[in-house]
Amino acid sequence: MIFKSYIKDKLDNYFEEKISKHIEFQNSLENWFYKWLDFQNNSYANSYSPKNTYYEFGTGWGQTLTAFINAAKAYSSANNTNIENINICLFDSFEGLPPVKSPEDNHVSWKEGEFAYSKKYIFDLIKKLDFPIENVKFIEGYYENSLNKETMEIIKQIPPSIITVDTDYYSSTNEVLSFLPRVLKSGTVFYFDDLFSFFLNEDYGQVKSIKEFNSLGDGKLYPLTENNYNGKCFIYSAKKWEHTI
C-alpha cells in the first residue's frame, strides 16, 4: 500500500510538472514566434505573407533574440526546412539607452546607458545558440544616425516578417516606425515590449508612437485578435492592399 501511494505521488508530480511546463511554453514569447513563423509559411496566406526575416530593435542582453532563435530552430526542425532560410537584422547602439529626448520618454525605470551589452556579447550568444552568424546583420548605432539610406540599401532585399520593438522610449520608437514603412508589407507582425510601461497612456511611450504612426494614413498597426502575446502584438496592413490579381 505504501509503495502504491509512493508511485501515485511520483506520477502525480511528474504529470503536474509536464502540464505546467506545457502551459508555460504555450504562453511564452518563443511559442508566439513559432506560431507566426508557421502561419506565414504554412497557412492559407503563405503565398502572400512576408516570411522568414526577423528584425529586432533593441537587443539588450539577448533574451528576446534567444526566444526567436529557439523558435526558428524548432520551426525548421519540425518542417524539415533549412535554418539558413531565416534571416535576422539587429538594430542597437550596444551602448545602452540614449539620453532622454522628450517628456514622453521620461520614466523612473530607465536611465541613460542602461541595457548596455556589447556587440561581441550578442555575437557570442548567437554562436552559442548555433544559429548561422552569416545570416545575421548588425546595424550598429543610435537610430538617429543608423536608420539611414545606407541601412535601407542593406535591408531592402530582406523585408521583415516579424519585428520586435524593444526601444523603451517614445522618441526611439518614433525613429523606428518612421524608418520602416519603405520595407513593410501587409502581414508583418510586431511585438512592442514596452507597450505597458506608461499603463497604456496614449500620450507617452510606445502607445503614443503607434497612435501617431496610425494617424499618418499610409498603413496601420492593428492589435492582434488572436495569438497576441501579453496583449503587446500588432499586425501591419498597408492602406492600399498589395496582393491583388
Q: How far apart are CA 212 and CA 167, in angstroms?
A: 16
Is 18 domain-assigned? no
**Which DSSP state fits 103?**
G
Question: Between the CA atoms of 173, 175, 177 and 180, what dihedral angle is there, to the nearest 10 degrees?
Answer: -140
Rounded to the nearest integer, the mean pLDDT of the chain is 91
DSSP bridge pairs for 218 = none
232, part of any domain: yes
Question: Cα–Cα distance between 158 and 62 in angstroms, integer?
Answer: 22
Residue 171 lies in a domain: yes
The pLDDT tens digits for 89-144 are 999 999 999 888 888 888 888 888 888 999 999 999 999 999 999 999 999 999 99
Query: Domain of 186: which CATH number?
Result: 3.40.50.150
pLDDT digits (tens, 9 = 90+) for 178-221: 999 999 999 999 999 999 999 999 999 999 999 999 999 889 99
Number of compact structural domains in the chain: 1
pTM: 0.91
47 inside domain? yes
Share of the chain above pLDDT 90, in %: 76
CA distance 229 to 28: 7
Please name the residues in contact with 166: beta carbons below 8 A apart, sequence gap of 6 or more: 56, 57, 58, 59, 60, 64, 193, 194
Domain presence at residue 6: no
Domain extent for 132: 28-238
Q: Is residue 9 part of a domain?
A: no
Q: Which three cell numbers stand for residue 121?
A: 556579447
